[in-house]
């Protein structure tokens, strides 16, 4: 298609090899847990309802978000809608218990609920976490269950200990039991590092991985290892963090956050170059950021967060906005895209159809 891509939020792709499909755009609920800024129940409700009205039918949450607040909020709204019409994912690996120490704010949550996490990737810990999520959501049927934040970025030198809980401690066995029994339709992990996905794929048969960041306009390293492996194994990427924590949402005029911290100078300089190409082709940076990863055939959905109905509608508009093919070629010419990266509108390598 000569004018590049025109994505539709309601377009669907299969999750792994399972009989499960997710919409092109999904709603991630970390902002509904109060990430970086508190919001009212009314604002959270408006964001979820705006997503539904726009055709979003994939919703991702986690006990970690707001220390269980996001699960409560999401379940309260989703129970209004027919359960057969949407896909729901949550995460496991942390159990939440009443807080015994004051919250220090280090995780970025503003006014979280009064609970604290105990990491537990064992067989019984995963099953208990799953049941706790069912009760908080008020929903028995959870489609996708993801191991949350396994990896060295989160656990450092303790990662080997928690990895052993998944292997000899029966964590992987619990996932397999839930999937085999039909309690969930698909299993995987939700992480910020591609290495963890590769390690899990080598150990256990996952269906999908929620990867936050790592494959964006600013980062394309997964093209060399993870994404080819996913295509070969039939593993879907649920792509979060397309804005890299914010800097790709509004560029240098917005919040200069990159991967949960202040953006370094080299990232700011790269964003400036991206914005120059965007201005030359009248393409909003946010539109390019949301549409780029969806062009890869291994990416089943792009998850975005929203603190309000207005933000949600902005993201929908960005995802569906037509972008000329010349824009993507200009990014290649400027060395801002890996030459191996599929781009929206291209037909090579089975890339996303326009």
Residue positions annotated with a catalytic role: 60, 65, 91
CB atoms within 10 A of CB 297: 17
The closest alpha carbon to 213, from 231, 233, 194, belongs to 194
Distance of alpha carbon 138 from alpha carbon 7, whole angstroms: 33
Q: Residue 352 corresponds to which tokens in the numbers above?
A: 């996303």
Instruction: Calculate the alpha carbon distances from 316 to 118, 119, 173, 286, 330 in Å.
Output: 36, 35, 38, 10, 24
Residue 44 is encoded by which pair of tokens? 């959270």
Which of 128, 99, 123 lies closest to 113, judged by CA? 99
> Cα–Cα distance between 352 and 296 in angstroms, integer?
6
Question: Which pairing describes strands 94-98 and 87-92: parallel, antiparallel, or unpaired?
Answer: unpaired
Question: How far apart are alpha carbons 295 and 344 in whole angstroms?
Answer: 5
The interaxial angle of helices 41-54 and 309-320, nearest 10 deg, is 30
Q: What are 194's two structure tokens? A: 């591609």
| Residue 279: both structure tokens together | 């201005």
């Amino acid at each position: 298609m000569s004018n590049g891509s025109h994505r539709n939020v309601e377009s669907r792709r299969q999750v792994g090899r399972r009989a499960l499909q997710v919409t092109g755009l999904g709603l991630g609920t970390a902002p509904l847990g109060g990430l970086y800024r508190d919001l009212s129940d009314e604002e959270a409700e408006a964001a979820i309802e705006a997503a539904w009205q726009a055709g979003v039918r994939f919703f991702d949450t986690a006990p970690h978000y707001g220390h269980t607040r996001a699960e409560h909020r999401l379940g309260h709204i989703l129970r209004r809608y027919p359960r057969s019409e949407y896909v729901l994912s949550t995460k496991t690996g942390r159990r939440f218990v009443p807080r015994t120490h004051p919250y220090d704010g280090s995780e970025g949550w503003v006014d979280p609920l009064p609970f604290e996490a105990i990491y537990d990737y064992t067989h019984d810990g995963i099953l208990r976490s799953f049941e706790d999520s069912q009760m908080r959501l008020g929903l028995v049927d959870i489609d996708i269950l993801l191991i949350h934040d396994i990896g060295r970025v989160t656990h450092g030198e303790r990662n080997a200990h928690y990895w052993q809980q998944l292997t000899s401690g029966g964590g992987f066995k619990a996932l397999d039991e839930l999937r085999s029994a039909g309690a969930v339709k698909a299993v995987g992990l939700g992480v910020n590092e591609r290495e963890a996905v590769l390690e899990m794929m080598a150990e256990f048969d996952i269906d999908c991985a929620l990867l936050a960041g790592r494959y964006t306009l600013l980062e394309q390293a997964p093209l060399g290892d993870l994404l080819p492996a996913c295509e070969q194994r039939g593993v879907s990427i649920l792509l979060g963090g397309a804005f890299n924590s914010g800097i790709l949402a509004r560029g240098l005029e917005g919040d200069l956050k990159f991967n949960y911290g202040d953006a370094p100078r080299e990232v700011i300089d790269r964003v400036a170059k991206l914005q120059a190409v965007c201005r030359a082709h009248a393409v909003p940076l946010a539109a390019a950021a949301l549409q780029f990863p969806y062009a890869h055939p291994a990416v089943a959905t792009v998850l975005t967060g929203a603190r309000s109905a207005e933000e949600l509608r902005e993201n929908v508009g960005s995802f569906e906005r037509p972008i000329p093919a010349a824009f993507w070629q200009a990014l290649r010419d400027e060395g801002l895209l890996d030459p191996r990266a599929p781009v929206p509108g291209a037909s090579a390598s089975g890339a996303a159809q326009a």
